[in-house]
Amino acid sequence: MNKKIPIKNPLPEVHLAIKAVLEAGKIVMNVYNQNFSSSLKRDNEPLTEADIKSNETIQKIISNSGYPILSEESHDNKKRLVSKKIWIIDPLDGTSDFINRTGEFTIMISLVNENKPILGIIYWPTKSILYLAQKDKGAFKFDNDSWLKLSVSNVTKLENCRAFESRYHISEKEKNFIKLLNISQITAKGSSLKVTDISSGNAELYFTTTNKIKQWDTCASYCLISEAGGKMTDMFGNDLEYNTEKLNHENGLLVSNGLVHNQIIDIYRKTNGKL
């Protein structure tokens, strides 16, 4: 996988990041295939041994680059703010899916340069599928020992859209907005796999109005969807920035194939965020 990268002149960090997600994937699956316990963090988010071990493994490998690392499972060292380049990682995205054994969890590593993702890697360990994107170089999927270039769908009508919703966190406000969009094809899915499917042309839309989504939840996905031809913004259409003081995306998140993006924003703006 690491030797057959389909990107011409890949960033030197690509190989390091792929090595890290694959090593972390082995450790995560080792925990997954045994009996394990879980606990709650201060913010009531779930935590398992897999989160901790994956974090340790990834940081040990990518720290060789010398860049600061922002991770969901580590203390936020604000010294990162003076660095042009930093890593942003989510050692186990979809911990609730991990605990409930849905298989829909991922490991995400991204590299940010001057507040924008330039590299995104998402690994789905239960399927041994890896997603890779580099700024201005395209988005790709490695599966069954081969690479496939990714591209979003060409659906332009909202009523024809296939949408994803969160399996555990959907609110009444979000349910009301789905009704307002007149979308009937809705599937619950875990973790960043919602974005990987949109990037692959298998769906067109995912959104959340919550302000609880953090930068490590979206950074790798941002690079992937952008390079696949889609779009990721907040619910008002503002672009997302990374390696900032505040880690939350305060105005929610909208991910689409790009072709229906402005339609959704226009409808949301008319509600003034009140649903």
In SS3 terms, the chain reads as: CCCCCCCCCCCCHHHHHHHHHHHHHHHHHHHHCCCCCEEECCCCCEEEHHHHHHHHHHHHHHHHHCCCEEECCCCCCHHHHHCCEEEEEEEEECHHHHHCCCCCCEEEEEEEECCEEEEEEEEECCCCEEEEEECCCEEEEEECCEEEECCCCCCCCHHHCEEEEECCCCCHHHHHHHHHHCCCEEEEECCCHHHHHHHCCCCCEEEECCCCCEHHHHHHHHHHHHHCCCEEECCCCCCCCCCCCCCECCCCEEEECCCCHHHHHHHHHHHCCCC
Task: Output the CA angle 16-111-136, nearest 5 degrees.
Answer: 100
State the pLDDT confidence band at 1, using cuts at 50, 70 and 90: low
Inter-helix orientation angle 172-181/261-271, to 10°: 120
Residues 194, 205: Cα–Cα separation, whole Å: 9
Percent of the chain with pLDDT over 90: 91
- 202-260: per-residue pLDDT in tens? 999 999 999 999 999 999 999 999 999 999 999 999 999 999 999 999 999 999 999 99
Instruction: Work out the mean pLDDT of the chain and round it to a whole number.
Output: 95
100-113 residue pLDDT tens: 999 999 999 999 99
Q: At residue 63, does pLDDT exceed 80?
A: yes
Predicted pLDDT of residue 97: 95
Report the pLDDT value the prediction gives residue 264, as an integer from 0 to 100. Answer: 97
Q: Beta-carbon neighbour count of residue 8 at 10 Å? A: 8
Q: What's the confidence (pLDDT) of residue 88?
A: 98
Identify the band that residue 169 occupies on the pLDDT scale cut at 50, 70 and 90: confident
- Amino acid 39: pLDDT: 92
> Look-up: residue for tokens 């239960």?
126
Token couple for 118 = 């330039």
